[in-house]
Amino acid sequence: MAEHAGLIPIGQAARLLMISEERIRQLVKQGFIPKPEKRGAVQLVGAVQGYLRYLKDDERRSTKSAADSRVRDARALEIELRIAERSRDLIPVEDALTDMAEFAGLVRSELAGLPARLTRIIDERQKVEAEIDGVLTRLAERAAQKAESLEAGRSHSAAGAPAAARRMGAPQQGLSGDLRSTGPA
């Protein structure tokens, strides 16, 4: 029993700690395990405590290294995004949604006068208007889906643009309203 409180051979310490004798010597050189008073032996308590200190220090270093790596990766991504934005390879979601809504409004206003330009016959105008409304409704639904997918992962309070896109493409009664009211509905 006196052997456990004092010095033990390096081989026995290595088996106890489940590491090689060479690793014990390395830990002694690194200062984790106290230098032996006798060649070929180490203090039992010093070897166990030193090895535990080494493991904790190694875990701390790897955790710190992993955190540093994540920070470096995040900074690199941020720099890449800024460069992409400056070179106009990347635009903010809000700009994309605004552009979509403006384009949808332009299409709607251009198509609004089409039935009146095509015919003076009210029944035919109503048929053309109904077809245009159907096309615009389908386009609006698709635009709303695209806008929602762009908004994925963002807060729901910032999702005002998809509703605007839906409104811009929604069917409107009487694209040429004054003539529509004179014919059958």
Report yes or no: 44 and 33 within 8 Å, Cβ to Cβ.
no
Q: Which amino acid is at 106?
A: L
The pLDDT tens digits for 106-123 are 888 889 888 989 989 999
How far is it, in rounded angstroms, from Cα 73 to Cα 128? 56
pLDDT value for 153:
54
Which residue reads 């005002």 in tokens? 160
Which residue reads 């009146």 in tokens? 116
pLDDT value for 132:
92
pLDDT value for 166:
42
In which residue ranges of the chain is pLDDT below 70? 1-5, 153-185
- Give pTM, 2 decimals: 0.38
pLDDT value for 154:
57
**DSSP H stretches of helix in the chain:** 2-5, 10-17, 21-29, 44-86, 93-112, 114-118, 122-151, 160-169, 177-180
Reading phi first (left if > 0) and then psi (alpha if -120 to 50, else beta), residue 86 is in: alpha
Domains in the chain: ranges and CATH:
2-84 (1.10.1660), 91-180 (no CATH)
The pLDDT tens digits for 69-95 are 888 999 999 998 888 888 878 778 788
